[in-house]
Structure 1
């Protein structure tokens, strides 16, 4: 990857506009400033050339960055990043971990100043313009960004590693429709964050299948509901009050355990089908106890590993040979809850 004007500017301690003037041989630039720019360019060329040698013995500094939101799934991801230390060491990756409040433009900009010092970023992005700008700045600085679990396809990220979330949503829709059969009623789609692209994709895929194949079911969206057990339980009770014909609940993100517990306690579970994501010890027990009907899951640690490998493949200039598989969505029912 060639040195960009932003990279040169940072190295030389000048503005991007000054770099542009030097490269255009603008004689109005002071000679000592022009010399600094040319030295910075030469050093960067040497560094980028040596970085492309696969046998280079040093390790790559990769920052793993999660949004600062309340999410059991992201807590699970954080744990698996920590538990992957030996895998990363084997593949010459020196990982660092960050939580960033991407809802804050200021915090995102502050993090960008730190992130440029890394060789690569593995990022769960939120859908904000300044997060796209962060990715663009990293790209200009020669720091590849790999999005993971949730994508930001309109950005300049180098790659996405994770399941196809629209297919996951369509799978959930098909299973919901099959479980409900010919029943007529309303299905609620609960999403914890409208800023996470994976949840939007799941909601879109789910609604597509219901509209295409299950015209007996009407769906309503409940975005930005709380993922904690109490909040999720209150949300589903509110839905029951507003929609007496409620026959199904699909949670695109977290909160499924709280939903299931609330429905069991109120005695309403017998008439509802409950579908959600993330297979944990708690949701496995709820599957066995008929509090949840379907759980969709993914290989979290494997995806973390593949994202790290994708990042260093870009750093090693491995083009067209990322060898990163498309992870499959796993389906858990009562019968295989403990498989």
Structure 2
């Protein structure tokens, strides 16, 4: 296998963009820098020629990092990363896993120092300036960053792998409008974290559709709403008391099981449409019992696999890494709850 631009950049201590410029014979590159690049390329070629028969590519070390927040979904992602170890080994990827309090600048900076020796980083980012700085620092060190499940599009990340969360939110908005019908009332949009870009995108898409097509509904948002079932149940009780015209609840993150149980116990479920994300054993059962009306879901393990493969493609300088197909959002109703 020929030396990739990433390999040359690492050996020469320059960026991939600089390697590209040298290989294009760009005269704007300083002569000493161009000489380092050519020397690195020659050394890599000599190393490969001396090995005789071409060997398989060495394994790549990829770090998977999730934010340290209370989230059943992220706990599931953590399990699926662990269960993907054999898949990654087949593709010569050695994975390591970290949970980090990304809301802490000190913790994020400390973790970045540990990650600098990895070949690539797969990250579920939080929207903080120091997280963007961490991504920039990793990129400057020729460690490509792939964001997964939740994006940070303004950062220097190399690729995003996950569903289109704005479209997922628009889908939820369309279904909410259709389920509510001609009734006039309020819909509550509950989000677990305003620092997770996926939840911001879902809220945006949802409100766009209600504004465009369902003028009979007004919406209110409750950001930074707790995901545990007890807190979620208490939150919806408060919403019911403060908004007697409540006709729908859309949950962009976790906590929907607690809300469904509370609505059932209070007898209010018959007049409130409930839509959320994450198809689990609990939410499947609640779909069957009509405690939840719609669940939007994604192939978590498949997305984890794609993120690892995207990192490998970046390291191997494979063109078309950004053409990874966008995963589909699955829609579960009572009729296909156990499909």
Matched positions, count = 313
Native 8 Å contact 1:3 1:44 kept in 2: no
Q: Which residue of 2 aligns with 1:270?
A: 270
Native 8 Å contact 1:176 1:273 kept in 2: yes
Structure 1 counterpart of 2:9, from 3, 23, 31: 3
Q: Normalising by structure 2, what TM-score? A: 0.86
Q: Distance in 1 between matches of 2:84 and 2:106?
A: 31
Q: Which residue of 1 aligns with 2:22?
A: none
Q: In the TM superposition, what is the alpha-carbon distance from 1:272 to its structure 2 partner?
A: 0.2
Q: Which residue of 2 aligns with 1:71?
A: 71
Extract unaligned runs of 5+ from structure 1: 9-22, 27-37
Q: Distance in 1 between matches of 2:46 and 2:235?
A: 55
Q: Normalising by structure 1, what TM-score? A: 0.86
Q: Distance in 2 between matches of 1:246 and 1:298?
A: 28
User: 1:240-286 deviations in whole A, cap 9, x for unaligned?
Assistant: 11111100000001111111111111111111000000000000000
User: 1:115-150 deviations in whole A, cap 9, x for unaligned?
Assistant: 111000010000000000010001100000000000
Shift in alpha-carbon separation, 1:195–1:46, aligned structure 2, 3 A: farther
Q: In the TM superposition, what is the alpha-carbon distance from 1:57 to its structure 2 partner?
A: 3.1
Q: Which residue of 1 aligns with 2:305?
A: 305
User: 1:215-245 deviations in whole A, cap 9, x for unaligned?
Assistant: 0000000000100000110111111111111
User: 1:149-169 deviations in whole A, cap 9, x for unaligned?
Assistant: 000000010000000000000
Q: Which residue of 1 aligns with 2:159?
A: 159
Native 8 Å contact 1:6 1:141 kept in 2: no
CA RMSD of aligned residues (A): 2.6
Shift in alpha-carbon separation, 1:40–1:176, aligned structure 2, 3 A: same
Q: Distance in 2 between matches of 1:48 and 1:144?
A: 23
Shift in alpha-carbon separation, 1:39–1:159, aligned structure 2, 3 A: closer
Q: Distance in 1 between matches of 2:306 and 2:173?
A: 28
Q: In the TM superposition, what is the alpha-carbon distance from 1:39 to its structure 2 partner?
A: 8.7
2:9 is paired with a residue whose SS is coil
Q: Which residue of 2 aligns with 1:173?
A: 173
Q: Which residues of 2 match residues 287-326 of structure 1 at below 5 A?
A: 287-321=287-321, 324-326=324-326
Q: In the TM superposition, what is the alpha-carbon distance from 1:5 to its structure 2 partner?
A: 12
Q: Distance in 1 between matches of 2:186 and 2:162?
A: 30
